[in-house]
Structure 1
């Protein structure tokens, strides 16, 4: 019964979070330019620093929220984070200076660390051999949310850059209320452990990670992939304006197309790929596809070419859920929250360096002093880190015999109710 109520709620939560996130993306460049009273090249640079601040907040928030969920349960922590996101979106509707915009995005990063708690809740009620697929359903929910979110955001953005934040606040509040009445606790009291501040911080999480066999190497692969994949959320809106000359409406349409492909990939590619090839080989294939797409975006100059490159993004879908499942296998029942917090912390660390590597590169090649105007340069950086991730993944030993075990061919009833 717990699984039949938990997985649908987590899927719905990620869906509504994705809608809220997607609503905002098309208007972020305009909001930065409006609040800072700056032009596009300067807004790209400010966007890099905003991304850095969000990453710092996620880096510190993820291990804290993960450990708190191991002590107090998933329900309390997740509902608190959802309420925090609703308050943050409300703040974004009224900010009128860059410092307040930075504060608001820092809150987004901190409460966004609750994604680890959601993943831990799935691990609580799912057998190890099914986790990659169920994590894939979470990814599908994110993709479907992206279908609706950017379209709504692009439309509302034509009204004004603040309007999408009102819609995002309403969605986050509705999500929290839904969980308040529906979401059951997935971590029984007997499986909880005492909260320890020494483990609920980045340094303590790093020590805990190194104590688990194979976790450090798996986390490094996740870090490299995180840096590469962040090229989309951190540069896409700016890239579309600088390289393709798109409007907020067109940016929203492109993000909706991305969402469609993510949903298709997570729903129809992840399960069969992991069942046939195992988590490691499925993730390797997805990484190589992603690298090829990154190179394509670096040089594409036409709208039809950009949309054509979005089609194979469905094939890179196994990367994230497979890596998350490989890390989850290395955790015990009472440390799932901590390990998922570690994975979120690793991704947060990726967000710390990605703005300098990705947005910083784009800002340089679109600035007034750039030797050549090349908005797609950040995608070449992403391709480099994608190749590193694939190389490291091939050296990663298999965690257990179950990693490549056959997975059920049908979606479990818990995710269809």
Structure 2
């Protein structure tokens, strides 16, 4: 929710600090997003392995603390360097999605994991539902106000978690810490021993790169193409959050039970590619808002793919897997702004004869199509976990 609060106003803060146009701020915002991704890529496996050794609770609380520091630094920013430092801190300490999924793996059965991972996504969707709308409204009281509110919420969540969040990984399931595994390369070498995991992980990376167009580019794309202010950007992201939460709570479990994770993910990918192409060519602000509700179907993709990998990973390796996934997500988050924000900045600049802000959505749709084709071609042996995957 915290990042959702700052999303609508981050472009305005960049413009304020650097005295640049929104098109130029798009490129700077991409670099800021990349700084977060670099540190998350490096730290994801370390965080995951620390969770496998010392338990999920301390790692989860550390992540929450990292976000609070990030938002405070950005709120007090005197120049653009502060924003880079804040995002780097969040990337290093705040790789929260991996620990959250590791907790879900701890408390769920093999058959129930896609639904459990979906509940994590639903929680993030609810945060996306409330955060951007709140951020857009808070922006009326000053560009920096949303950052301080986000920092306060992260701090309150940390305090609540300190007293209320239980440890989900028993001592008997923990393993010794290995520096060899606590880095992206070490995690890759370890996970390659698990049949089918790396192939699915590549699809995961392609998909996360595709869907990252929304967190890294939407707050720049929507004002440029539709003339929206921060309140409208917040409203549109709220609609996305509503649709994602509804899909993950009401639809995901039923779809996985009936069709399995692979087909469910493919349906989500097809819907994602269609919505991205629609944004690329649609000029109507009304239709753009309606499409925000359709985007939610793609919320079935990540939990389904994650469950496919988790089912093939032993219990004491769930943290490592989620840490590796965190590094993949970070690598995707590093790649996405370089692709999307750079293309958006270029195709809306004076360097082109005819502006085409939809260019990054063409690229995003192409990646979703590649992920869809890869899942379609996935061998049944790679899509179905062995019977002893959860030991």
TM-score normalised by the shorter chain: which range applies? over 0.9
SS of residue paired to 1:174: helix
1:41 to partner: Cα distance: 1.7
Q: Say if 2:125 and 2:242, in contact at 8 Å, map to a contact too.
A: yes
Q: Which residue of 1 aligns with 2:384?
A: 399
1:291-306 to 2 correspondence within 5 Å? 291-306=273-288
Number of the residue aligned with 1:162 = 144
Deviations 1:40-70 (A, max 9, x none): 1211111111121111011011111001101
One of 5, 9, 15 as aligned partner of 1:33? 15
- Is residue 129–residue 402 contact of structure 1 (8 Å, CA) maintained in 2? no
The root-mean-square deviation of aligned C-alpha atoms, in Å, is 1.4
The 5 Å alignment of 1:221-232 reads: 221-232=203-214
Among residues 307, 311, 335, which one is paired with 2:289 in the alignment?
A: 307
Residue equivalent to 1:87: 69
Runs of 5+ consecutive residues of structure 1 not aligned to the other structure: 1-18, 404-417
Q: Which residue of 1 aligns with 2:237?
A: 255
Q: Give the TM-score taking structure 2 as reference length.
A: 0.96
TM-score by length of 1: 0.90
Q: Across the two proteins, how many residue pairs are aligned to each other?
A: 385
Instruction: Tell me the alpha carbon deviations over residues 14-54 of structure 1, each in whole angstroms, 9 at most, x when there is no partner.
Output: xxxxx211110000100111112222121111111112111
Task: Write the distance in 2 (CA, Å) between the matches of 1:275 and 1:398.
Answer: 15
Aligned 1:211-226 pairs, distance under 5 A: 211-226=193-208
Q: Which residue of 2 aligns with 1:69?
A: 51
What does residue range 188-227 of structure 1 map to in structure 2 within 5 Å?
A: 188-227=170-209
Determine if contact 1:269/1:317 at 8 Å carries over to the other structure.
Answer: no
CA contact (8 A) 2:30 2:341 kept: yes
Match of 2:306 among 306, 324, 337: 324
Question: Deviations 1:62-105 (Å, cap 9, x if unpaired)?
Answer: 11100110111101111111112112211111111111211111
In the TM superposition, what whole-angstrom CA distance separates every residue of 1:257-289 from its partner, at most 9, and x where no partner exists? 111111111111111110110000000010011
Matches within 5 A, 1:265-304: 265-304=247-286
Per-residue CA deviation, residues 144-186 of structure 1 (Å, 9 max, x unaligned), is 2222111110011121110001110111011111111111111
Distance 1:292 1:26 in 2: 25
Cα gap change, 1:402 to 1:292, in 2 (>3 Å): farther
Output aligned runs, 1:136-155, within 5 Å: 136-155=118-137
Give every structure 1 segment of 4 or more consecutive aligned residues whose post-TM-superposition deviation is greater than 6 Å: none
CA offset at residue 369 of structure 1?
Answer: 0.6
- How far apart in 2 are the matches of 1:120 and 1:401? 20
